[in-house]
Amino acid sequence: AFEFQILTTSYDGTAKIWCPRTARCLHTFDGHSGEAVMTATISPDGAQILTAGYDGRAKIWCVTTGDCTHTFEGSDDAGRGTG
């Protein structure tokens, strides 16, 4: 069953999923070339997250495994918003 989670982004190029009950980091999603991850969102079913960073990439991640499943290459300003 889906449990409430907190999604954060960072200037170190990572996004993290946290358990609010334990304050424990469940997964660190690292793949934006050390550039800031400026925005992220979680899918309605909690299975995937989308991150966008100043490296010009948007990435889809599997919450369960922490693996990046898709990378979308864009321009240098791609991380300035997802919509």
Residue-wise pLDDT tens digits, 13-42: 999 999 899 999 989 999 888 889 999 999
Instruction: Tell whether the torsion through CA atoms of 47, 53, 59 and 62 is positive or negative.
Output: negative
Do 42 and 6 form a contact (C-beta atoms < 8 A)? no
Token code pair at residue 3? 């449990």
Q: Taking Cα atoms as reference points, which of 78, 43, 83 lies closest to residue 60?
A: 43
36-82 confidence digits (pLDDT tens): 999 999 999 889 999 999 999 999 999 989 999 999 997 555 445 54
> Which residue has 């996004």 as its token pair?
15
Tokens of 43: 């899918």
